[in-house]
Amino acid sequence: MLIQVSWRNIWRSRTRSLVVITAITLGIMAGVFSTAFMKGMMDKRVETAIHTELSHIQIHDSLFRKTSELKYYMPGAEVLARKIDTLPHVEGVTQRIIVQSMISSAETGAGVKIMGVRPEDEKKVTDIAQQMVAGKYFEGIKRNPIVIGQKLARKLNVRVRSKVVITLQDLDNNLTAGAFRVAGIYKTSNTAYDESNVFVRYEDLARLTDLPAGACHEIAIRVDNDLNTVSVQQKIKKTAGGLEVMNWKEISPELSYITAVMDQYMYIFIMIILLALLFGIINTMLMVILERHKEIGMLLAIGMSRTRIFFMIIIETVLLSLTGGLTGVILGTFISKYFESHYINLSMFGKGLEQLGYSALVNTSINPEMVVSVTIMVIFTGIIAAIYPALKAIKYDPAEALRIE
């Protein structure tokens, strides 16, 4: 019956309650949507990083990762790669020769990381082949084709079929150079990556560096689902001898923290929204108990205990907050759901975002856990907001309250 009374009391001052409810609704809706938006952006960043840059698992000689020196290659890589390819959940395995070197066009030069890959294997692991903006992925050029990023192409002022020269040190530390022709230009959502990573064929780079047959610096593995990454990693570790087998979270820890950190930011963001709403709710409830001074006096007089009156006001405040909160959660979820399948286009800010590795096209991603937490936080806000007005109400003196005309 207390709940019934409290609920009806909310609608006594319809306009005032609606104003508060609307404020809560908008605040929570914005909170839920922003959270889904940020999470969508982060998820996309992680997904892009895995599918374009990192793959799920990488194998190196442990010294290579520290020094990037050519001599720390894995001699038996070919055999290991074949073995891994037969493991369950493995979708693709690619071997890469990696060399830090100079690339130069007729006009200028730049430092880049050159990866010697087998295009057919590489396609199964990363999606660079699907991100071509000019030319084709290792097609159309017979001798020494090279695939470079758009940002680098602009910097070097080269086009498809343009000639570039790669200068590097071979295994004996002799300076050596090779001429390549641009077969294709790719563009990912991360311009920093585009600027510094180029792809050539495995055989061409092996010849240039004098690397023995079947050797490479990096084996990159893609699994069917990120949930299987760790189990596949464990299996590989057993067969990989002394090599370093790392999953993407170990290779790029900052990336795996991004989501967790962002979640915390969003909680803080929502708490700030709720804090602002808190004072609005307190204000409303203070007006409520002031208006009902005489009524509360009557309730005390007829024998309603102060504890009960306290709870009646708490319930009313929580119901008020929850009405707005749930509406906000529902609307926020609804809007976020819509943008799960429709892009939000941020190309206005696209350049800046892509420099940081974020796509300008964002899909939201709702975290159901977050939705539940927000609802609980709204309830707590209601309770906290009610305490002061409720304490004030139970200090009323019935005899005095009843004298009010």
- Give the footprint of another protein on this chain (CB under 8 A): 1, 4-5, 8-9, 11-12, 294-295, 298, 300-306, 308, 398-399, 402-403, 405
Minimum gap (Å) between residue 8 Cβ and another protein? 4
Note the helical H segments in 49-90. Answer: 62-67, 77-85
CB of 113 or CB of 294, closer to another protein: 294
Minimum gap (Å) between residue 403 Cβ and another protein? 8
CB of 158 or CB of 390, closer to another protein: 390
CB of 369 or CB of 405, closer to another protein: 405
CB of 304 or CB of 330, closer to another protein: 304
Minimum gap (Å) between residue 381 Cβ and another protein? 24
CB of 8 or CB of 159, closer to another protein: 8
β-strands 57-60, 244-247 pairing? antiparallel
Q: Which residues contact 61 (CB under 8 A, 6 or more apart)?
A: 72, 73, 74, 217, 243, 244
Minimum gap (Å) between residue 304 Cβ and another protein? 6
Minimum gap (Å) between residue 4 Cβ and another protein? 8
Minimum gap (Å) between residue 225 Cβ and another protein? 54
DSSP, collapsed to helix, strand or coil, labels residue 133 as: strand
Q: Which residues contact 191 (CB under 8 A, 6 or more apart)?
A: 149, 151, 351, 354, 355
Minimum gap (Å) between residue 391 Cβ and another protein? 16
Residue 137 CA from chain centroid, whole number: 28
CB of 337 or CB of 403, closer to another protein: 403
CB of 47 or CB of 400, closer to another protein: 400
DSSP, collapsed to helix, strand or coil, labels residue 167 as: strand
Residue 194 near residue 149 (C-beta atoms within 8 A): yes
d(CA 366, CA 373): 13
Place of tokens 């002394």: 242
DSSP, collapsed to helix, strand or coil, labels residue 98 as: strand
CB of 19 or CB of 301, closer to another protein: 301
CB of 3 or CB of 276, closer to another protein: 3
Amino acid type, 22: T
HSE at residue 158, side-chain half, CA atoms within 13 A, is 31
User: 278: exposed, middle or buried (C-beta count within 10 Å: 0-12, 13-18, 19+)?
Assistant: middle
Note the helical H segments in 126-252. Answer: 150-156, 191-196, 202-209, 229-239, 248-251
Place of tokens 């370093």: 244
Picking from 111, 113, 125, 102, the residue whose alpha carbon sits closest to that of residue 68 is 113
Q: What are phi and psi of 172, to 5 degrees?
A: -90, 15
Minimum gap (Å) between residue 5 Cβ and another protein? 6
CB of 11 or CB of 142, closer to another protein: 11
Residue 63 near residue 217 (C-beta atoms within 8 A): no
What DSSP string describes 306-341? HHHHHHHHHHHHHHHHHHHHHHHHHHHHHHHHHHHH
Minimum gap (Å) between residue 387 Cβ and another protein? 20
d(CA 89, CA 362): 29
Minimum gap (Å) between residue 325 Cβ and another protein? 22
